[in-house]
Amino acid sequence: GPLSERPLMDVRLGELHTWISTCSFSPQGLLGAVQRAWGSYCAKYIHVKQGGPAGISMLLAGYCLLSYGWNYQHLKRHRWRKYH
């Protein structure tokens, strides 16, 4: 099919620049991309017949990493240091 309709994992490395240029970076385009990513995540890890802890643990790990990233400057100032 056309390059713009291919998922990211089906795009070759040489076609990546062209594929990115076909993407829509408007607020509606970004919202649609987030909705598609969330839908595929739920279909693969959450809404399955025999699910395991993988889906929920990935969400928890992602939240921990985001939280650490958001609070890094605050945590960096309050580290205990050997020399002041």
pLDDT tens-digit profile, the chain (84 residues): 788 788 888 889 999 999 888 888 899 989 998 999 899 888 888 887 877 788 888 889 999 999 998 888 877 776 666 665
* Domain coverage including residue 25: 3-78
Determine, yes or no, domain membership for 84. Answer: no
* Stated pTM of the model: 0.56
pLDDT tens digit string along 16-26? Answer: 999 888 888 89
Question: Alpha-carbon distance 20 to 4, whole Å?
Answer: 9
Amino acid at residue number 30: L
DSSP state of 5: G
Q: Rounded CA gap, 38 and 15, in Å?
A: 25
User: Residue 24, SS3?
Assistant: coil
* Number of domains the chain contains: 1
> CA 67 to CA 84: how far, in whole Å?
27
